[in-house]
Amino acid sequence: MARSSKRPLRLLVVDDEESIRTFAQRALQEAGYEVAAAADGPDALAIVEQQAPFDLFLIDIVLPQMRGDELARRLRHADPSVKILYFTGYSDWLFNDKKVLWENEAFVEKPVTLQGLLEAVSLSLFGHTRGLGR
């Protein structure tokens, strides 16, 4: 997604575990990102419809009502250039139906440290691990 230099980078965290959503949201906000959060796929799609654009989606694989990779497929259908960072303890599920990740997709294993999360987000957005403004 093209980024206007006048707006902060926007991320959407999608995870059904409230403690993980809160951890990710706070960590990313403190790092300078604008962050929204959703507990499941339908919530995430509603937020995207109301608040788009987002620069990166952090999505758990195991979600109620809709798997995370299905959510990613729907987001990609609407915008083929979306960036997806799967934030999951079930990364092997990503490869049940495909052998490699799509372009602009990556994953980070849970549990993850604060530094690990920030580096994975930075790598997905900028191609380096140094974060915003570098």
pLDDT at 89: 75
CB of 56 closer than 8 Å to CB of 81? no
pLDDT at 22: 97
Residue 16 forms part of a structural domain: yes
Q: What is the pLDDT of residues 14-71, one digit of tens each?
A: 999 999 999 999 999 999 999 999 999 999 999 999 998 999 999 999 999 999 999 9
Residue 63 forms part of a structural domain: yes
Handedness of CA 55, 95, 128, 60 (dihedral sign): positive
What is the spatial distance between Cα 39 and Cα 31, in angstroms, rounded to a whole number?
22
Give 128's contacts (C-beta < 8 A, 6+ positions apart): 122, 134
Split at pLDDT 50, 70, 90, the class of 134 is low
Give 95's contacts (C-beta < 8 A, 6+ positions apart): none
Task: With H, G, I as helix, E, B as strand and everything else as coil, classify residue 94.
Answer: helix
Residue 77 forms part of a structural domain: yes
What is the CATH classification number for the domain harbouring 34?
Answer: 3.40.50.2300
Look at the pTM and tell me if it is higher than 0.75: yes
Partners of 88 in the β-ladder: 109
Residue 134 forms part of a structural domain: no
CB of 130 closer than 8 Å to CB of 31? no
Split at pLDDT 50, 70, 90, the class of 5 is low
Task: With H, G, I as helix, E, B as strand and everything else as coil, classify residue 134.
Answer: coil
Residue 28 forms part of a structural domain: yes
Residue 105 forms part of a structural domain: yes
Residue 69 forms part of a structural domain: yes
Split at pLDDT 50, 70, 90, the class of 2 is very low
H-state helical runs in 1-113: 18-30, 41-51, 68-78
Say how many domains are in the chain: 1
Q: Which domain holds residue 105?
A: 10-126
Q: What is the pLDDT of residues 78-98, one digit of tens each?
A: 999 999 999 887 767 665 666
Residue 2 forms part of a structural domain: no
